[in-house]
Amino acid sequence: MMQHHVMDRAPGTFSLKDLRHIYERPTELRLIGGSDALDAARQTVTDLIANGETAYGINTGFGLLASTRIASKDVQRLQENLVLSHATGVGEPLNDGVVRLILATKAASLAQGFSGVRQCVIDALLALLAHEVYPLIPAKGSVGASGDLAPLAHLSAVLLGVGEVRSKGGIKPAREGLADAGLQPMVLEAKEGLALLNGTQVSTALALAGLFEIENMFAAAMVAGAMSVDAMKGSDVPFDPRIQAVRRQKGQIDVAAAYRDLLAGSAIRESHADCDKVQDPYSLRCQPQVMGAALTLMRQAAETLLTEANAVTDNPLIFADEKDILSGGNFHAEPVAMAADMLAIAASEVASISERRTSLLVDPKLSGLPAFLVKEGGLNSGFMIAQVTAAALVSENKTLAHPASVDSIPTSAGQEDHVSMATFAGRRLADIAFNCDAVIAIELLAAAQGIDFHRPLTSSPAIEDGYSAVRAIAATYEQDRYFAPDIEGVRKLVAEGRFNLSVDGLLPSDHMGSEAL
């Protein structure tokens, strides 16, 4: 078992950095406080059943069957039936980082004392997280309303000893996984199955994972863009703070400042300070405007997702002070769907402008560099088809970035007649991020090749650091060679966040805490 990170938090106080830690590494989460509220909410549920009263999902059927009263003797069976009947997911299982986020945010949501579950339910979720016992949750089968019912049912089924988990590097039956975590199969009491299944934790976890992957890509794209400016002896005038100040867009202002830092101290820049070139193409000149707009969307999406990760999103909710059990719609994941759509658009545009810079780099009329960035053109094709690959991926992203939140399909015999599609909205971000990572990797390789043509002049310290990272994977292209391993190697650098420190403080998860709520 990997050494895991220990995190003490009060329920509902995650920072974005906390969530990124949970996504990236095994984590033991210890929730502090809140037991009085938890006990009071549980007592409210118990009293309702003892008094012969009726509340949705506690002693009634679900969805269209909400008007069907369930006898007290069948309440436990009702919860078990709910979990097993709703475990209808299909497809490949979600990755461990996403499952960690689901376990952590579901436990923290329940622990706030509005869901009516016992402490032992929360403790079981935290034990799975701490012991790295990850329920196998099929990726497909949720419409992002009434909660992420199917995927959360697969999570919950493991608590009953049903299904499979990934534990100690292998897949095993749920009962064996529970034993690895020091647990026995549970019997769920009234309301607990519904509380586990209702909620936006899967959609939110997928969207958060997309955000964190896109952050890594964005940082690399900043380095690649700056490297391309130097490789093509572009102007740094477009990054002047006065231009950004009169536009007033904070994302643009912050991005331009980062570009100035990235380019500071370049001998290549000094070598053409007095050239007569007036303006560069948009993909060089308009980087603050495009990347700044993308950063603004990322920040807005991050704020929404941070709020959602700290929220209570099941139904009905227990307000113990007033002895009220209220049915509402906090499970509807529309905020998550729209945030994920914003991230899809932002990421796709970052890759789009990157591909345009690669296209400039391989065009000798625009770059001033050898055609396709290689000597002996004709004998060698150089970066010709690498740019085609980038173009293919950018075009694919155009389809993937179609907004999911504008789609809806009625379910549950029309009772649930408008849904968010947030689960798909979040899940497809992984595909977009992968495509973007490869596009940025191709630009990094091309820009590094462009820098080579200016030797012995050096670029700035920041760009030379990025150049060295690329060259540690891929040597200069003196002649054609098998290309794909170089792209994959640099793509992995991008995906791993190798370039994040080059824009330290710029990314949302660098600084967004729970106080942002």
Give 439-497 as a DSSP string: HHHHHHHHHHHHHHTTTTS---HHHHHHHHHHHTTS---SS----HHHHHHHHHHHHTT
Could you read off the pLDDT of 107-140 as tens digits, one per residue? 999 999 999 999 999 999 999 999 999 999 999 9
Catalytic center residues:
56
Sequence-ordered alpha helix ranges (H) in 51-143 = 75-86, 96-110, 119-130
Could you read off the pLDDT of 447-477 as tens digits, one per residue? 999 999 999 999 999 999 999 999 999 999 9
- 190: alpha, beta or left? (left if phi > 0; alpha if psi -120 to 50): beta
Q: What angle do CA 15, 317, 181 make, to 5 degrees?
A: 60
Cα distance between residue 202 and residue 205, in whole Å:
5
Closest CA to 206 of 423, 497, 21: 423
At 401 the pLDDT is 97
- Helices 384-400 and 422-452, axial angle in degrees (round to 10): 160
> Rg (Cα) of the chain, in Å, rounded?
26
At 515 the pLDDT is 52
At 512 the pLDDT is 75
User: Which 3 state secondary structure label does DSSP give 369?
Assistant: coil
Q: What angle do CA 67, 72, 74 make, to 5 degrees?
A: 85
Cβ neighbours for 375, distance < 8 A, ≥ 6 positions apart: 478, 479
Running DSSP on this structure, what letter comes out for residue 95? P
Given a contact cutoff of 8 angstroms between Cβ atoms, the answer to whether 319 and 365 are in contact is no
Q: Cis bond leading into 456, ω under 30°?
A: yes
- Give every residue of the chain whose pLDDT is below 50, as ranges: 1, 516-517
For 253-275, b/e burial (b = at least 16 CB within 10 A) is bbbbbbbbbbbeebebbeebeee
Cα distance between residue 139 and residue 94, in whole Å:
5
Given a contact cutoff of 8 angstroms between Cβ atoms, the answer to whether 513 and 9 are in contact is no
Running DSSP on this structure, what letter comes out for residue 122? H
Closest CA to 416 of 155, 153, 144, 204: 144
User: Element (H or E) spanning 324, and its range?
Assistant: strand 324-326
At 217 the pLDDT is 98
Cα distance between residue 98 and residue 202, in whole Å:
8
Given a contact cutoff of 8 angstroms between Cβ atoms, the answer to whether 159 and 169 are in contact is no
Sequence-ordered alpha helix ranges (H) in 331-383 = 334-362, 364-367
Cα distance between residue 91 and residue 324, in whole Å:
39
At 166, the amino acid letter reads: R
At 514 the pLDDT is 54
Q: Phi and psi dihedrals of 186, rounded to 5?
A: -95, 160
Cα distance between residue 86 and residue 243, in whole Å:
55
